[in-house]
Copies of this chain bind each other. A is one copy, B any other.
Amino acid sequence: MSILLKSPIDALRQYVEFPSVSADSKFANGVKGAREFACARLEELGFEVNLVPTPINPIILGTRGDPSWPRLVIYGHYDVQPPDPLDLWSSDPFTAVERDGRLYGRGAADNKGPQIVHMAALARVLRDIPDYPVHITYLIEGEEEIGSPSFRGFLEEHKNKLQGDLLLVSDTGSPSPDQLVVTTGLRGLCAMEVKVFGPKQDLHSGVHGGALLNPLQALMHACSSLHDADGRVTVPGFYDAVRPPEKWERKELAKLPTTEDEYARFLGVSNFFPPPGYSSLEAIRFCPTLEFNGVGGGYQGEGSKTVIPAEAFAKITCRLVPDQKSDDIAEKVKKAIIQACPTAVRVEVEIKGGGDPYVVIPPGKPGSTGEETDLMKKAFRIAEDCIERGFGSSPIFLREGGSIPIIQDLKEVAGLDSLMIGLFTNEDNLHAPDESFHLGIMDRAIHSFESFFKELV
Protein backbone atom coordinates (compact mmCIF):
# COMPACT_ATOMS: atom_id res chain seq x y z
CA MET A 1 0.00 0.00 0.00
CA SER A 2 1.26 3.46 -0.86
CA ILE A 3 2.80 5.37 2.02
CA LEU A 4 0.36 8.18 1.06
CA LEU A 5 -2.54 5.98 2.21
CA LYS A 6 -0.73 4.26 5.07
CA SER A 7 0.82 7.31 6.72
CA PRO A 8 0.88 10.75 5.09
CA ILE A 9 2.98 11.98 8.04
CA ASP A 10 5.65 9.37 7.35
CA ALA A 11 5.58 10.44 3.70
CA LEU A 12 6.16 14.05 4.74
CA ARG A 13 8.90 12.96 7.12
CA GLN A 14 10.77 11.22 4.30
CA TYR A 15 10.24 14.12 1.90
CA VAL A 16 11.57 16.70 4.43
CA GLU A 17 14.73 14.70 5.08
CA PHE A 18 15.98 15.35 1.54
CA PRO A 19 17.81 18.70 1.93
CA SER A 20 16.61 20.13 -1.37
CA VAL A 21 18.09 23.64 -1.09
CA SER A 22 18.10 25.10 -4.58
CA ALA A 23 20.06 28.27 -3.68
CA ASP A 24 23.25 26.40 -2.84
CA SER A 25 24.85 23.92 -5.22
CA LYS A 26 26.31 21.87 -2.38
CA PHE A 27 22.80 20.51 -1.75
CA ALA A 28 22.52 19.00 -5.26
CA ASN A 29 22.08 15.49 -3.87
CA GLY A 30 19.25 16.56 -1.60
CA VAL A 31 17.51 18.24 -4.51
CA LYS A 32 17.80 15.04 -6.54
CA GLY A 33 16.51 12.94 -3.64
CA ALA A 34 13.44 15.10 -3.14
CA ARG A 35 12.72 15.03 -6.86
CA GLU A 36 12.93 11.24 -7.02
CA PHE A 37 10.71 10.96 -3.95
CA ALA A 38 8.01 13.14 -5.55
CA CYS A 39 8.19 11.21 -8.84
CA ALA A 40 7.82 7.90 -7.02
CA ARG A 41 4.68 9.13 -5.23
CA LEU A 42 3.10 10.28 -8.50
CA GLU A 43 3.90 6.94 -10.14
CA GLU A 44 2.25 5.12 -7.24
CA LEU A 45 -0.85 7.23 -7.94
CA GLY A 46 -0.84 6.05 -11.54
CA PHE A 47 0.58 9.17 -13.15
CA GLU A 48 2.76 9.00 -16.20
CA VAL A 49 5.76 10.98 -15.03
CA ASN A 50 8.32 12.88 -17.14
CA LEU A 51 11.29 14.98 -16.09
CA VAL A 52 11.71 18.09 -18.20
CA PRO A 53 15.36 19.18 -18.11
CA THR A 54 16.22 22.81 -17.23
CA PRO A 55 19.63 24.48 -16.78
CA ILE A 56 19.30 23.90 -13.01
CA ASN A 57 16.73 21.47 -11.60
CA PRO A 58 14.40 19.42 -13.84
CA ILE A 59 10.65 20.02 -13.67
CA ILE A 60 8.41 17.07 -12.81
CA LEU A 61 5.46 16.71 -15.17
CA GLY A 62 2.89 13.97 -14.45
CA THR A 63 -0.42 13.27 -16.16
CA ARG A 64 -3.38 10.92 -15.73
CA GLY A 65 -6.82 10.62 -17.27
CA ASP A 66 -8.51 11.38 -20.55
CA PRO A 67 -7.77 14.79 -22.11
CA SER A 68 -11.46 15.19 -22.93
CA TRP A 69 -12.36 15.27 -19.20
CA PRO A 70 -12.32 18.52 -17.20
CA ARG A 71 -8.67 19.38 -16.84
CA LEU A 72 -7.07 20.25 -13.49
CA VAL A 73 -3.43 21.29 -13.14
CA ILE A 74 -1.78 20.96 -9.71
CA TYR A 75 1.35 22.93 -8.88
CA GLY A 76 4.02 22.46 -6.20
CA HIS A 77 7.78 22.81 -5.71
CA TYR A 78 10.24 20.25 -4.37
CA ASP A 79 13.00 22.72 -3.49
CA VAL A 80 13.34 24.53 -0.15
CA GLN A 81 14.98 27.64 1.32
CA PRO A 82 18.51 27.52 2.77
CA PRO A 83 18.47 26.54 6.46
CA ASP A 84 20.71 29.40 7.73
CA PRO A 85 21.12 30.65 10.39
CA LEU A 86 21.68 27.06 11.53
CA ASP A 87 22.43 27.88 15.17
CA LEU A 88 18.90 29.18 15.70
CA TRP A 89 17.24 25.82 14.95
CA SER A 90 16.08 23.76 17.94
CA SER A 91 16.73 20.56 15.99
CA ASP A 92 18.49 19.67 12.77
CA PRO A 93 16.64 21.31 9.83
CA PHE A 94 16.83 18.13 7.74
CA THR A 95 15.78 15.66 10.41
CA ALA A 96 11.97 15.60 10.58
CA VAL A 97 11.04 15.90 14.26
CA GLU A 98 7.50 15.75 15.68
CA ARG A 99 6.87 18.07 18.64
CA ASP A 100 3.60 19.46 20.06
CA GLY A 101 1.47 18.51 17.09
CA ARG A 102 3.89 19.85 14.50
CA LEU A 103 6.46 18.33 12.18
CA TYR A 104 9.68 20.40 12.22
CA GLY A 105 12.11 20.63 9.33
CA ARG A 106 13.09 22.95 6.47
CA GLY A 107 10.41 22.71 3.79
CA ALA A 108 7.84 21.00 6.05
CA ALA A 109 5.35 23.79 5.32
CA ASP A 110 6.94 25.36 2.26
CA ASN A 111 5.98 23.39 0.22
CA LYS A 112 6.36 19.70 1.06
CA GLY A 113 3.51 19.42 3.62
CA PRO A 114 0.83 20.90 1.35
CA GLN A 115 2.04 18.68 -1.51
CA ILE A 116 1.65 15.58 0.65
CA VAL A 117 -1.88 16.80 1.55
CA HIS A 118 -2.88 16.95 -2.13
CA MET A 119 -1.26 13.62 -2.93
CA ALA A 120 -2.73 11.83 0.10
CA ALA A 121 -6.22 13.13 -0.72
CA LEU A 122 -5.83 12.06 -4.34
CA ALA A 123 -4.60 8.64 -3.21
CA ARG A 124 -7.90 8.12 -1.36
CA VAL A 125 -9.94 9.41 -4.30
CA LEU A 126 -8.16 7.17 -6.79
CA ARG A 127 -8.45 4.18 -4.45
CA ASP A 128 -12.23 4.71 -4.23
CA ILE A 129 -12.79 5.92 -7.84
CA PRO A 130 -10.04 4.41 -10.04
CA ASP A 131 -11.53 6.04 -13.14
CA TYR A 132 -11.94 9.43 -11.45
CA PRO A 133 -13.07 11.52 -14.47
CA VAL A 134 -10.79 14.51 -14.11
CA HIS A 135 -7.68 14.88 -16.25
CA ILE A 136 -4.91 15.88 -13.86
CA THR A 137 -1.55 17.39 -14.78
CA TYR A 138 0.98 17.50 -11.96
CA LEU A 139 3.66 20.14 -12.18
CA ILE A 140 6.36 20.20 -9.47
CA GLU A 141 9.33 22.45 -10.01
CA GLY A 142 12.70 22.64 -8.23
CA GLU A 143 13.65 26.29 -8.55
CA GLU A 144 10.82 28.14 -6.80
CA GLU A 145 12.99 29.33 -3.92
CA ILE A 146 15.48 30.90 -6.30
CA GLY A 147 12.81 32.69 -8.34
CA SER A 148 11.95 29.97 -10.89
CA PRO A 149 14.53 31.14 -13.45
CA SER A 150 13.85 28.22 -15.82
CA PHE A 151 10.08 28.21 -15.55
CA ARG A 152 9.17 30.81 -18.13
CA GLY A 153 11.25 29.09 -20.80
CA PHE A 154 9.73 25.73 -19.90
CA LEU A 155 6.27 27.26 -20.11
CA GLU A 156 6.76 28.73 -23.57
CA GLU A 157 8.04 25.38 -24.83
CA HIS A 158 5.54 23.07 -23.12
CA LYS A 159 2.43 25.24 -22.86
CA ASN A 160 0.41 22.74 -24.91
CA LYS A 161 0.92 20.17 -22.12
CA LEU A 162 -0.43 22.62 -19.53
CA GLN A 163 -3.78 23.41 -21.09
CA GLY A 164 -6.52 23.15 -18.50
CA ASP A 165 -9.54 24.62 -16.80
CA LEU A 166 -8.01 25.49 -13.45
CA LEU A 167 -4.74 25.47 -11.53
CA LEU A 168 -4.78 24.17 -7.94
CA VAL A 169 -2.07 25.50 -5.64
CA SER A 170 -1.41 25.18 -1.92
CA ASP A 171 1.65 27.31 -1.39
CA THR A 172 0.00 30.18 0.44
CA GLY A 173 -0.88 30.97 4.06
CA SER A 174 -3.88 31.07 6.35
CA PRO A 175 -4.27 32.98 9.62
CA SER A 176 -4.89 29.98 11.89
CA PRO A 177 -5.59 26.24 11.89
CA ASP A 178 -9.32 27.09 12.18
CA GLN A 179 -9.53 29.82 9.57
CA LEU A 180 -8.33 29.10 6.07
CA VAL A 181 -7.82 31.62 3.33
CA VAL A 182 -8.42 31.27 -0.39
CA THR A 183 -5.69 33.42 -1.82
CA THR A 184 -6.89 35.75 -4.55
CA GLY A 185 -3.63 37.46 -5.33
CA LEU A 186 0.11 37.18 -4.92
CA ARG A 187 2.69 39.89 -4.95
CA GLY A 188 5.19 39.88 -7.77
CA LEU A 189 8.92 39.90 -7.23
CA CYS A 190 12.02 41.39 -8.67
CA ALA A 191 15.46 40.64 -7.29
CA MET A 192 18.83 42.23 -7.76
CA GLU A 193 22.32 42.19 -6.30
CA VAL A 194 24.27 45.41 -5.88
CA LYS A 195 28.05 45.25 -5.68
CA VAL A 196 30.23 48.25 -4.90
CA PHE A 197 33.96 48.08 -5.60
CA GLY A 198 36.55 50.36 -4.00
CA PRO A 199 40.29 49.72 -3.58
CA LYS A 200 41.79 46.62 -5.16
CA GLN A 201 42.07 44.96 -1.75
CA ASP A 202 41.13 45.57 1.86
CA LEU A 203 43.15 48.48 3.26
CA HIS A 204 44.33 49.54 6.72
CA SER A 205 41.80 52.17 7.76
CA GLY A 206 44.43 54.08 9.73
CA VAL A 207 47.17 54.21 7.12
CA HIS A 208 44.81 55.03 4.23
CA GLY A 209 41.56 56.27 5.79
CA GLY A 210 40.53 59.66 4.45
CA ALA A 211 42.03 59.29 0.98
CA LEU A 212 39.30 57.23 -0.60
CA LEU A 213 35.59 56.44 -0.39
CA ASN A 214 34.78 53.35 1.65
CA PRO A 215 32.61 51.00 -0.50
CA LEU A 216 30.35 50.33 2.51
CA GLN A 217 29.79 54.07 2.92
CA ALA A 218 28.93 54.38 -0.79
CA LEU A 219 26.64 51.33 -0.70
CA MET A 220 24.76 52.56 2.36
CA HIS A 221 24.48 56.01 0.85
CA ALA A 222 22.91 54.55 -2.31
CA CYS A 223 20.68 52.05 -0.48
CA SER A 224 19.40 54.51 2.09
CA SER A 225 18.31 56.86 -0.69
CA LEU A 226 15.74 54.27 -1.82
CA HIS A 227 13.26 54.96 1.01
CA ASP A 228 12.08 58.19 2.60
CA ALA A 229 11.79 58.63 6.36
CA ASP A 230 8.22 57.26 6.30
CA GLY A 231 9.37 54.09 4.57
CA ARG A 232 7.91 54.90 1.16
CA VAL A 233 10.07 53.86 -1.78
CA THR A 234 11.58 56.91 -3.49
CA VAL A 235 12.53 55.22 -6.78
CA PRO A 236 10.99 57.39 -9.53
CA GLY A 237 7.88 55.74 -11.00
CA PHE A 238 7.85 52.93 -8.42
CA TYR A 239 4.20 53.49 -7.45
CA ASP A 240 2.91 54.62 -10.86
CA ALA A 241 1.10 51.38 -11.75
CA VAL A 242 -0.11 50.46 -8.26
CA ARG A 243 -3.88 49.74 -8.13
CA PRO A 244 -5.61 50.37 -4.78
CA PRO A 245 -7.44 47.37 -3.27
CA GLU A 246 -11.13 46.71 -4.15
CA LYS A 247 -13.82 47.44 -1.56
CA TRP A 248 -14.69 43.75 -1.17
CA GLU A 249 -11.04 43.02 -0.44
CA ARG A 250 -11.00 45.39 2.52
CA LYS A 251 -14.27 43.79 3.71
CA GLU A 252 -12.79 40.29 3.51
CA LEU A 253 -9.69 41.51 5.36
CA ALA A 254 -11.94 42.73 8.18
CA LYS A 255 -13.03 39.08 8.72
CA LEU A 256 -9.47 38.12 9.55
CA PRO A 257 -9.35 36.91 13.17
CA THR A 258 -5.79 38.23 13.63
CA THR A 259 -5.54 41.59 15.43
CA GLU A 260 -2.69 44.03 14.87
CA ASP A 261 -1.56 43.45 18.47
CA GLU A 262 -1.40 39.70 17.97
CA TYR A 263 0.49 40.22 14.75
CA ALA A 264 3.03 42.51 16.48
CA ARG A 265 3.52 39.93 19.21
CA PHE A 266 3.99 37.21 16.63
CA LEU A 267 6.65 39.20 14.79
CA GLY A 268 8.27 40.30 18.04
CA VAL A 269 8.21 43.98 17.14
CA SER A 270 6.98 46.85 19.29
CA ASN A 271 6.32 49.12 16.31
CA PHE A 272 4.92 48.49 12.86
CA PHE A 273 6.20 50.52 9.94
CA PRO A 274 3.62 50.32 7.12
CA PRO A 275 3.57 52.97 4.42
CA PRO A 276 1.39 55.98 5.27
CA GLY A 277 -2.34 55.28 4.77
CA TYR A 278 -2.18 51.50 5.31
CA SER A 279 -2.40 49.24 8.35
CA SER A 280 0.28 46.57 8.74
CA LEU A 281 -2.16 43.82 7.72
CA GLU A 282 -3.13 45.82 4.62
CA ALA A 283 0.44 46.74 3.74
CA ILE A 284 1.64 43.14 3.47
CA ARG A 285 -1.12 42.43 0.91
CA PHE A 286 -1.80 45.63 -0.98
CA CYS A 287 1.51 47.56 -0.97
CA PRO A 288 4.75 46.98 -2.82
CA THR A 289 8.07 46.85 -0.95
CA LEU A 290 11.78 47.27 -1.53
CA GLU A 291 13.54 45.06 0.98
CA PHE A 292 17.21 44.45 1.86
CA ASN A 293 17.56 40.70 2.29
CA GLY A 294 21.29 40.74 2.92
CA VAL A 295 23.98 43.37 3.18
CA GLY A 296 27.64 42.72 3.80
CA GLY A 297 31.16 43.99 3.48
CA GLY A 298 34.34 44.23 5.54
CA TYR A 299 35.07 42.35 8.73
CA GLN A 300 32.25 40.04 9.86
CA GLY A 301 33.97 38.19 12.72
CA GLU A 302 34.35 38.59 16.46
CA GLY A 303 36.00 41.76 17.76
CA SER A 304 37.24 44.38 15.37
CA LYS A 305 39.43 44.68 12.31
CA THR A 306 40.29 48.16 11.14
CA VAL A 307 39.94 47.79 7.40
CA ILE A 308 38.48 49.70 4.52
CA PRO A 309 36.93 46.81 2.58
CA ALA A 310 37.61 46.32 -1.12
CA GLU A 311 33.92 45.72 -1.81
CA ALA A 312 30.44 45.56 -0.37
CA PHE A 313 27.14 44.03 -1.50
CA ALA A 314 23.40 44.30 -1.00
CA LYS A 315 20.83 41.68 -1.99
CA ILE A 316 17.54 43.41 -2.71
CA THR A 317 14.07 42.16 -3.56
CA CYS A 318 10.94 44.15 -4.31
CA ARG A 319 7.46 42.74 -3.79
CA LEU A 320 5.07 44.03 -6.40
CA VAL A 321 1.32 44.51 -6.61
CA PRO A 322 -1.01 44.86 -9.61
CA ASP A 323 -0.27 46.39 -12.10
CA GLN A 324 3.46 46.77 -11.47
CA LYS A 325 5.70 44.81 -13.86
CA SER A 326 8.77 43.02 -12.57
CA ASP A 327 11.11 43.95 -15.43
CA ASP A 328 10.04 47.57 -15.33
CA ILE A 329 10.50 47.97 -11.58
CA ALA A 330 13.84 46.17 -11.63
CA GLU A 331 15.14 48.59 -14.25
CA LYS A 332 13.83 51.59 -12.31
CA VAL A 333 15.45 50.44 -9.06
CA LYS A 334 18.71 49.63 -10.84
CA LYS A 335 18.77 53.10 -12.38
CA ALA A 336 18.03 54.77 -9.03
CA ILE A 337 20.84 52.85 -7.32
CA ILE A 338 23.36 53.68 -10.02
CA GLN A 339 22.36 57.34 -9.91
CA ALA A 340 22.58 57.46 -6.11
CA CYS A 341 25.94 55.70 -5.86
CA PRO A 342 28.86 58.13 -5.55
CA THR A 343 31.16 58.06 -8.58
CA ALA A 344 34.29 57.60 -6.46
CA VAL A 345 33.50 53.87 -6.40
CA ARG A 346 32.39 51.43 -9.08
CA VAL A 347 28.89 49.97 -8.79
CA GLU A 348 27.31 46.95 -10.50
CA VAL A 349 23.64 46.03 -10.28
CA GLU A 350 22.70 42.57 -11.51
CA ILE A 351 19.01 41.92 -12.04
CA LYS A 352 18.00 38.38 -11.03
CA GLY A 353 14.83 36.41 -11.66
CA GLY A 354 11.43 37.88 -10.89
CA GLY A 355 7.76 37.63 -11.69
CA ASP A 356 4.71 39.80 -12.09
CA PRO A 357 1.98 40.05 -9.46
CA TYR A 358 -1.16 37.91 -9.87
CA VAL A 359 -4.77 38.55 -8.97
CA VAL A 360 -7.90 36.40 -9.47
CA ILE A 361 -11.43 37.57 -8.77
CA PRO A 362 -13.46 34.66 -7.40
CA PRO A 363 -16.43 33.82 -9.67
CA GLY A 364 -19.44 35.76 -8.45
CA LYS A 365 -17.46 38.45 -6.55
CA PRO A 366 -17.89 42.06 -7.72
CA GLY A 367 -15.65 42.56 -10.70
CA SER A 368 -15.64 38.92 -11.89
CA THR A 369 -16.30 38.42 -15.60
CA GLY A 370 -18.69 35.46 -15.53
CA GLU A 371 -16.60 33.94 -18.29
CA GLU A 372 -14.70 31.54 -16.03
CA THR A 373 -14.53 27.84 -16.99
CA ASP A 374 -17.17 25.52 -15.54
CA LEU A 375 -14.52 23.68 -13.55
CA MET A 376 -13.29 26.95 -12.07
CA LYS A 377 -16.77 28.10 -11.07
CA LYS A 378 -17.52 24.73 -9.48
CA ALA A 379 -14.15 24.46 -7.80
CA PHE A 380 -14.37 27.82 -6.01
CA ARG A 381 -17.88 26.96 -4.75
CA ILE A 382 -17.05 23.43 -3.64
CA ALA A 383 -13.81 24.58 -2.01
CA GLU A 384 -15.76 27.02 0.14
CA ASP A 385 -18.17 24.24 1.24
CA CYS A 386 -15.53 21.60 1.86
CA ILE A 387 -13.37 23.99 3.88
CA GLU A 388 -16.35 25.11 5.95
CA ARG A 389 -17.20 21.47 6.73
CA GLY A 390 -13.61 20.44 7.39
CA PHE A 391 -12.40 23.48 9.35
CA GLY A 392 -15.61 24.84 10.90
CA SER A 393 -15.67 28.19 9.12
CA SER A 394 -15.87 29.59 5.59
CA PRO A 395 -12.58 30.61 4.04
CA ILE A 396 -11.71 34.29 3.65
CA PHE A 397 -10.89 35.43 0.10
CA LEU A 398 -7.74 37.48 0.42
CA ARG A 399 -4.60 38.51 -1.39
CA GLU A 400 -1.35 37.60 0.34
CA GLY A 401 2.11 39.11 0.43
CA GLY A 402 4.21 36.22 -0.81
CA SER A 403 5.11 35.54 -4.41
CA ILE A 404 4.78 32.52 -6.64
CA PRO A 405 6.00 34.21 -9.79
CA ILE A 406 4.97 31.34 -12.03
CA ILE A 407 1.26 31.72 -11.18
CA GLN A 408 1.01 34.87 -13.28
CA ASP A 409 3.17 33.23 -15.98
CA LEU A 410 0.74 30.30 -16.13
CA LYS A 411 -2.12 32.76 -16.47
CA GLU A 412 -0.38 34.70 -19.22
CA VAL A 413 0.98 31.78 -21.24
CA ALA A 414 -1.48 28.94 -20.58
CA GLY A 415 -4.54 30.98 -19.61
CA LEU A 416 -4.84 29.15 -16.29
CA ASP A 417 -6.50 30.83 -13.33
CA SER A 418 -5.66 29.57 -9.86
CA LEU A 419 -7.52 28.28 -6.84
CA MET A 420 -5.05 28.78 -4.02
CA ILE A 421 -5.96 27.24 -0.68
CA GLY A 422 -3.59 28.26 2.11
CA LEU A 423 -2.38 25.46 4.36
CA PHE A 424 0.44 27.04 6.32
CA THR A 425 0.25 29.67 9.06
CA ASN A 426 2.60 32.33 10.43
CA GLU A 427 3.57 29.98 13.23
CA ASP A 428 5.10 27.64 10.65
CA ASN A 429 8.18 29.95 10.37
CA LEU A 430 8.58 29.85 6.60
CA HIS A 431 12.08 30.81 5.38
CA ALA A 432 13.15 31.03 9.05
CA PRO A 433 14.64 28.75 11.70
CA ASP A 434 12.35 26.05 13.16
CA GLU A 435 10.05 25.79 10.15
CA SER A 436 7.24 23.33 10.87
CA PHE A 437 3.90 22.10 9.54
CA HIS A 438 0.76 21.86 11.71
CA LEU A 439 -0.35 18.22 11.77
CA GLY A 440 -3.95 19.15 12.68
CA ILE A 441 -4.21 21.23 9.51
CA MET A 442 -2.62 18.39 7.59
CA ASP A 443 -5.18 15.87 8.77
CA ARG A 444 -8.22 18.13 8.24
CA ALA A 445 -6.94 19.31 4.88
CA ILE A 446 -6.51 15.75 3.58
CA HIS A 447 -10.19 15.11 4.45
CA SER A 448 -11.34 18.42 2.91
CA PHE A 449 -9.39 17.86 -0.30
CA GLU A 450 -10.70 14.29 -0.54
CA SER A 451 -14.26 15.74 -0.44
CA PHE A 452 -13.28 18.53 -2.81
CA PHE A 453 -11.90 16.18 -5.45
CA LYS A 454 -14.84 13.80 -5.11
CA GLU A 455 -17.48 16.55 -5.35
CA LEU A 456 -15.78 18.19 -8.29
CA VAL A 457 -17.19 15.52 -10.66
> What is the interface of chain A, defined by CB distance below 8 A to chain B?
22-25, 81-82, 84-85, 88, 146-147, 173, 187, 189, 191, 193, 198-214, 216-217, 219-221, 223-225, 227, 229, 231, 263, 267-275, 278, 280-281, 283-284, 287-289, 291-309, 312, 315, 317, 319, 342-346, 352, 400-403, 426, 429-433
A301 with B201: CB separation less than 8 A = no
Given known A-B contacts A200-B268, A273-B344, A23 and B301 have beta carbons under 8 A apart? yes
B216 with A343: CB separation less than 8 A = no
Q: Which chain B residues border A280 with CB–CB below 8 Å?
A: 210-212
A84 with B305: CB separation less than 8 A = yes
B298 with A293: CB separation less than 8 A = yes
A206 with B269: CB separation less than 8 A = no
Q: Which chain B residues border A297 with CB–CB below 8 Å?
A: 292, 294-296
B209 with A284: CB separation less than 8 A = yes
B401 with A212: CB separation less than 8 A = no
A432 with B295: CB separation less than 8 A = no
Given known A-B contacts A302-B23, A319-B210, A201 and B268 have beta carbons under 8 A apart? yes
Given contacts A189-B206, A200-B269, A294-B309, 18 further A-B contacts (CB under 8 A): A23-B304, A84-B299, A88-B201, A88-B202, A207-B426, A207-B430, A208-B284, A210-B401, A212-B273, A220-B224, A229-B342, A291-B308, A293-B304, A295-B312, A296-B296, A296-B297, A300-B300, A307-B432
Q: Which chain B residues border A223 with CB–CB below 8 Å?
A: 217, 220, 224
B202 with A433: CB separation less than 8 A = yes
A302 with B213: CB separation less than 8 A = no
Residue of B nearest to A289 (CB): B209
B295 with A298: CB separation less than 8 A = yes
Q: How far is the CB of A137 from chain B (nearest CB, A)?
A: 26
A187 with B211: CB separation less than 8 A = no
Given known A-B contacts A200-B267, A211-B283, A294-B300, A431 and B315 have beta carbons under 8 A apart? no
A212 with B267: CB separation less than 8 A = yes
Q: Which chain B residues border A309 with CB–CB below 8 Å?
A: 293-294
Pick from B189, B270, B308, B431: contact of A307, CB under 8 Å: B431
| 9 A-B pairs with the lowest CB-CB distances in the bound complex, closest first | A200-B268, A206-B402, A23-B303, A294-B298, A210-B283, A294-B299, A213-B273, A211-B280, A216-B292
Q: Which chain B residues border A401 with CB–CB below 8 Å?
A: 206-210
B403 with A304: CB separation less than 8 A = no
A267 to B345, CA, bound (A): 12
Pick from B220, B231, B403: contact of A220, CB under 8 Å: B220
A and B contact pairs by CB, cutoff 8 A, 17 listed: A82-B299, A146-B303, A191-B306, A201-B433, A202-B433, A204-B431, A205-B291, A205-B293, A206-B401, A207-B401, A211-B273, A272-B344, A291-B306, A293-B299, A295-B312, A298-B315, A305-B431
A295 to B221, CA, bound (A): 13
Q: How far is the CB of A311 from chain B (nearest CB, A)?
A: 10
Q: How far is the CB of A139 from chain B (nearest CB, A)?
A: 21
Residue of B nearest to A173 (CB): B207
Residue of B nearest to A208 (CB): B284
Q: Which chain B residues border A203 with CB–CB below 8 Å?
A: 267, 431-432
A303 to B187, CA, bound (A): 21
A154 to B403, CA, bound (A): 59
Pick from B199, B204, B219, B292: contact of A402, CB under 8 Å: B204
A403 to B208, CA, bound (A): 11
Q: Which chain B residues border A429 with CB–CB below 8 Å?
A: 201
Residue of B nearest to A226 (CB): B217
Pick from B221, B288, B312: contact of A227, CB under 8 Å: B221
Q: Which chain B residues border A227 with CB–CB below 8 Å?
A: 217, 221
A292 with B298: CB separation less than 8 A = yes
B292 with A306: CB separation less than 8 A = no
Pick from B147, B216, B278, B287: contact of A295, CB under 8 Å: B216
